[in-house]
Structure 1
């Protein structure tokens, strides 16, 4: 089989499956490289699933992968605690078992993968900021850095070892004393041994950014096929065929007949659905859906606004992150739940987020808070897959886990370069 670039005769047609942050940044990058791009998503708008209400952090300082025996032991310990930061449903499935096995097998690569992720996160910053500036996207960006804080010497020293790894990846973050923590974020309450502050990290609303970039894509000629599900996909020697159907509500299913469309190439950016889509192409991408939760607190009154922090925070012990999204919203996110494709919002997982706010920001009312849950597409080694499939017309940009917002702009550039490289693959 051979694939030869036809850019000299006409722009290549490329289908992007998925309109979350990864799919939209990928579409934008391909458009800039001269491709004719069509984006497919089953939702009626961009960024309606995992890219809807995450923690908001663009955090190279959170690049540490989870592959360690300490994580495994904590997972076992917390298995029966409904409000624990990490929760694993003990019900077995082959998908979960295979993923866990590969997770453990990746523990020896913990240091290497942490350094790699940090480098990728640093590179992504520039790409994302350039997109926002070029297209005039307002996404409640706050460039105040991210502050990690620790209550005990043991936890602080463990974080110091992580900081040394991040430094190998090129990240500058500095240790801070309790008094410096108070100076950096006066609203934070509690007694702390110390912390680490990363001035170069920043925050923003992933949903607003993705919507803004999707509109920019449309202005530049990208075709947005929202409310469209992929029923099947096949890649041949000469093209890629997608069978699609509208998901718009209707009283008559005959109004939404199946459509067959062909493209030169396809990129799978399908989040937690990437595993199933990849299987249809004969590829194995072992993404597992790791559920995360958030609340968005409405800061309706001035007293609430004054009591809420502006600097983004990360409580490593509780595994909770925060972001200030403009004057009147405060995002708090955390926890990891291995429970299959379940998207239910469980009160036992939301309550710890609200309780955490009341402890650390007692002057901020949480009476108006909106809960949310999303499924993070996570690979066992915590490294996103940017690669070509078995068929040279099929590509993947998926598996970013909890760092999709942080890494997507860099992986979009990488897959864009891969897709548009002149090739003659035997």
Structure 2
């Protein structure tokens, strides 16, 4: 089949790769001048199946109030008149029950674990390199109550067979030697040794080159002006480079997917949740992280990417606003400066923001739409890098009429039909 993929981020490019591997003729269009220049550009760098959990869960509404009141809090809400914001928040609150959390978690973990396995196979078959490391993730607890509260998380990890280690101060330092300089700042941690790290933008760029060699056509700097329908099917896409037609179409536009799906008469509950990062050049490797450290207090990930430290986090609910707020930068600088002082040059850090496409229940949306030739691969939230390869492989199977290797029946947009 001739397939047109809308979106050139990590999800769109991995989708194109696996579709062409399945024998299809694939074209990718994106408004940017290259791959992974929006949300995939400077994320926290984690490939973390073990942390694949819904944001919506028991106790989250109470925690959210506390986060909003913190000086370096992880949550910011900039209320506006956007009805989609309030609708999404309402749906998320409805998912903040133990029952819904269990259902949603059960849908997220398999696709995340599968995706890590698919990524490993891709790495083995292509030798793709992207400042990748496989040294796990360390969730660091500054307070005893945080460590005391992980019993529920441990049960979930056991349920899904995710390897983990509960560490005291010395164990944390053994995993991340630079923490020896600030041992008074924390009391213990939870390590997931199976997690990985890597530069998502570097990966996506290199995979696009591999995909190009395999026959994928990339058209960058192309803006979508409209999506046409005829007799219950997608009949074409109007763009700044002319009309584009195909046998099938894939919606992989992240936070902008719901904009087009509303126009197509099939709204999906995806909303942009703004995240920030700084990228800090390492000045003393002995004082820098070895892998990813999750600062549980501020919900910030601090990741080693080659000769840089990527510090990412915060959740800002503000629509499609891409302005950079200095208060968010100070939060990121505070976390990394507090745990890894002297590891990098904060004065030389670059500051970035991107829009995470979040669903109110947590799992991404992967599958067929009400149009038989339009498929969705979107709504991955903070886990687009973690879930990209597996999501792309699953969608390629669905488009190709094959049964996916994992059960993806509950990931499609039909779960919102009621």
- TM-superposed deviation, 1:69: 4.4
The more displaced of 122-131 and 204-213 is 122-131
Q: Does 1:91 align with 2:80?
A: yes
In the alignment, structure 1 residue 151 sits paired with structure 2 residue 142: yes
Within 5 Å, give how 1:194-273 maps onto structure 2.
194-237=188-231, 240-246=235-241, 259-273=242-256
Q: How does 1:410-421 map to 2 (within 5 A)?
A: 410-421=390-401
- Distance, in Å, in 2 between the alignment partners of 1:76 and 1:152 is 19
Contact 1:287 1:377 in 2 (8 A): yes
Q: 1:187 aligns with which of 165, 178, 200?
A: 178
Residue of structure 2 in register with 1:175 after alignment: 166
- SS at 1:179 equivalent: helix
| 202 and 102 in structure 1: CA distance in 2 versus 1, 3 angstrom threshold | same
Which aligned segments of 4 or more residues in structure 1 are displaced greater than 6 angstroms? Answer: none
Task: Classify the secondary structure of the residue corresponding to 1:367.
Answer: helix
Whose radius of gyration is greater, 1 or 2? 1
Cα offset, 1:317, TM superposition: 1.5
Q: What is the CA-CA distance between 1:101 and the residue it aligns to?
A: 1.0
Q: For 1:376 and 1:73, how far apart are their aligned partners in 2? A: 23
Q: Answer whether contact 1:16 1:23 (CA < 8 A) is retained.
A: yes
Contact 1:37 1:222 in 2 (8 A): yes
Distance 1:118 1:369 in 2: 33
Other structure's SS at 1:122 match: helix
- Distance apart, 1:305 and its partner CA: 2.0
Give the match for residue 34 of structure 1: 23
Give the 5 Å matches for 1:330-409: 330-364=309-343, 365-409=345-389
State whether residues 197 and 291 of structure 2, in contact with CA within 8 Å, keep that contact through their aligned partners in structure 1. Answer: no
Whether 2:106 is the aligned partner of 1:115: answer: yes
Cα distance, 1:209 vs structure 2:
0.2
State TM-score, norm by structure 1.
Answer: 0.89
Find the aligned partners of 1:92 and 1:347 in 2 and give their Cα distance: 24
Residue 111 of structure 1 contacts residue 165 of structure 1 at CA under 8 Å; is this kept in 2? no
Q: Cα distance, 1:219 vs. partner?
A: 0.6
Contact 2:222/2:239, CA 8 A, preserved across alignment: yes
How many correspondences in the alignment? Answer: 396
The answer to whether the 8 Å contact 1:235/1:393 transfers is: no
Task: Give 1:18's match in structure 2, choosing from 3, 7, 29.
Answer: 7
Contact preservation (8 Å) 1:81, 1:87: no
Name the CA shift for 1:195/1:275 in 2 (closer, same or farther; >3 Å).
same
User: 371-380 vs 180-189, which deviates more?
Assistant: 180-189
Q: Secondary structure at the match of 2:362?
A: coil
**CA contact under 8 A between 2:141 and 2:147: conserved in structure 1?**
yes
Which segments of 5 or more consecutive residues in structure 2 lack a partner in the other structure? Answer: 404-418
Unmatched runs of 5 consecutive residues or more in structure 1: 1-11, 247-258
Q: Which shifted more, 72-81 or 219-228?
A: 72-81
TM-score (norm 2): 0.91
CA apart distance, 1:102: 0.8
User: Is this contact kept in 1: 2:58–2:101, CA < 8 A?
Assistant: no
Contact 1:235 1:394 survives alignment (8 Å)? no
How far apart are residue 150 of structure 1 and its match?
1.0
Does residue 47 (structure 1) correspond to residue 36 (structure 2)? The answer is yes
Q: Distance in 1 between matches of 2:72 and 2:189?
A: 25
| Contact 2:169–2:183 (8 Å) recurs in 1 | no
Q: Is the 8 A contact 1:234 1:280 kept in 2?
A: no
CA shift, 1:142, in A, is 0.8
Change (3 A) 1:160 1:69: closer
- On the 8 A contact 2:142/2:296 being kept in 1, the answer is no
1:80 Cα shift? 5.8
Aligned: 1:287 with 2:281 = no
Match of 1:134 in 2: 125
Deviates more, 1:162-171 or 1:410-419: 162-171
For 2:329 and 2:224, locate their aligned partners in 1 and report how far apart those are by CA, in whole Å.
33
* Aligned counterparts of 1:339 and 1:82: Cα–Cα separation in 2: 19
